[in-house]
Chains A and B, each alone.
Chain A
Amino acid sequence: MSLDEAFDEILQAAKRAEEWAWARIYRDLAGLITGYVASRGASDPEDVASETLLQMARNIHSFEGTESSFRSWAFVIAHRRLIDFRRAQGRTVDTTSLDEAALNRAGGNVEHQALDRLVTEEVEATLQTLTEPQRDVLTLRVIAGLTVEETADVVGKRVGAVKALQRRALVTLRKSLPKGVPK
């Protein structure tokens, strides 16, 4: 759900601490932030998303800009929290657990669910072959829906470097993906 044309109005209302504005911001961003940090191994993704948005609330008066830069700002904060989380965990490779809810969304019979689980496991194993920077870029582009330029802002790299990272990630995935994974 994009804030679109109402963004300016929502931003001003958020600065006035109006509850409806923060509800709109939560609806727009919380799911995406949750998905992003969950895919990168955060242990409590919903909590990270709430903390990210609360930090934006603390600093809302210093923000002026477009919806695009607002979205980038949210993911800069979320990305920094992920880095802090990784440092605290003392690890450089994330271990994303299977999303049981995603498996259950398939519905249908047991055989269908078993096949979905197999596909998910294979795809998950393939994603683990990416480096952290590659996976950061890919998840920001896919889950957060950021453009190349917005992604560059979040990860603090140049646009050309982001393009190189996403191409390299796609090449690696093409090589690693098992044959027969249905489209």
Chain B
Amino acid sequence: MSDFDVYEDEMFNRGYTERDIDVLLSGGVPNDPGLAGLTPVVDRLKAHIPLEFDSTRMTTFTAEAVKTVPKSILVVPSSVARPTGYTRRLAFAPRFVGALAAIVLLVGMSGIAVASNGAAPGDTLYGLDRALERVGIGVGGAEERLAEATVLVSQGRAADALDHAIEAIDDEKAGDALQKAAERVGGMSSENGKAAEVHANVAAMLEWMTTTKATGSDFDQGVAERARQISGPNAAANDSPTDGANGGPPEDVPAGPPDHAPGGPPESIPSRP
């Protein structure tokens, strides 16, 4: 077991707490000396934020922004005088326009959704596929991520497939195991005789993830075990296959189902709270 492996186990088992990680990433000094040593890295990242404020650029932007904001026909400034008959036309215009816009949008997007659904990472329509998922069009979710990962493996992109499969799980340890596997696979030479075996293991893991009836912690544990096999014999031999055998998760990581849905606000149609 290398020093690095020991450090990784300590990170999960001794407990770099979520609180300490949050303190570090927000620019503070965490209690743990191991994390405290990373404050120069955080400082370097924060140095990208411009210190001086460009008032000229702001003035240019605000002038452009007020011209860009669409004039909503539902929001009429009280200072604007309305000619006779305007109010009557305005009464049904919003409903008509809104319905027409919705119909056009749905018809247009259904065609686009059919064309883009099934697009894999790297395909021209893939970005649109993900955007449509965020507004509820298209399957999305873990199932589609696994299908996309399977496509990537078939294209010989096993490391990319593993990175992609991370999106299908919510368990932190399983995610970490997948990342380690992705790093190992990504670093392998294509001439290495073991590469074919590793790729086959990746494909087998993805198939298991797609077809298994295991759920919750059983699913996450199964993923972690299979990912460790891909990471290599050392990682598989030294890591415990059972969650909790080495001391359990960090103190601030709650057990149970996630409390936050995947996906998020799209570019043009944000979600409501």
Contacts and interface: CB of A to CB of B under 8 A. Distances in A.
Contacts of B265: 65, 69, 72-73, 76, 153
A133 B179 CA distance: 10
B251 to A, nearest CB: 14
B167 A15 contact: no
Given A16-B75, A59-B267, A126-B41, A167 B176 contact: yes
A160 B269 contact: no
B72 A15 contact: yes
A101 B51 CA distance: 9
B225 to A, nearest CB: 16
Contact of B45 (A39, A59, A76, A168): A39
B49 A167 contact: no
A164 B35 contact: no
Q: How large is the interface on A (under 10, 10 to 19, 20 to 34, 35 or more residues)?
A: 35 or more
B239 interface: no
B240 to A, nearest CB: 17
A62 B18 CA distance: 35
A19 interface: yes
A112 interface: no
A157 to B, nearest CB: 5
A117 to B, nearest CB: 12
Given A17-B66, A123-B40, A160-B258, A99 B54 contact: no
Contacts of A18: 66
A16 B71 CA distance: 8
B166 A157 contact: yes
A96 to B, nearest CB: 8
A183 B36 contact: yes
Contacts of B24: 170
Contact of B68 (A58, A123, A126, A161): A58
Contact of B169 (A76, A160, A170): A160
Contact of A164 (B58, B64, B179): B179
Given A133-B163, A145-B26, A152 B260 contact: yes
Contacts of A170: 11, 16, 21, 24, 35, 38
A177 to B, nearest CB: 7
A58 B66 CA distance: 10
Interface string B1-44: 00010011001100010100100111100000011111111101
Contacts of A30: 57-58, 61
A98 B1 CA distance: 37
Given A64-B272, A160-B170, A164-B176, A31 B68 contact: no
Contacts of B171: 160
B143 to A, nearest CB: 14
Interface string A159-181: 11101111110110111010001
Interface string A9-47: 000001111110011001100111011101100000010
6 contacts: A61-B70, A77-B267, A105-B47, A152-B260, A156-B262, A171-B8
Given A23-B58, A72-B264, 15 more contacts: A23-B62, A58-B69, A76-B265, A142-B42, A143-B48, A156-B264, A158-B167, A158-B262, A161-B175, A164-B179, A167-B12, A170-B35, A170-B38, A171-B7, A177-B38
What are the 4 closest A-B residue pairs judged by CB atoms, nearest first?
A153-B264, A164-B175, A35-B49, A102-B47
Interface of B: 4, 7-8, 11-12, 16, 18, 21, 24-27, 34-42, 44-51, 53-54, 57-58, 60-72, 75, 77, 127, 130-131, 134, 163, 166-167, 169-176, 178-180, 182-183, 253, 258-260, 262-273
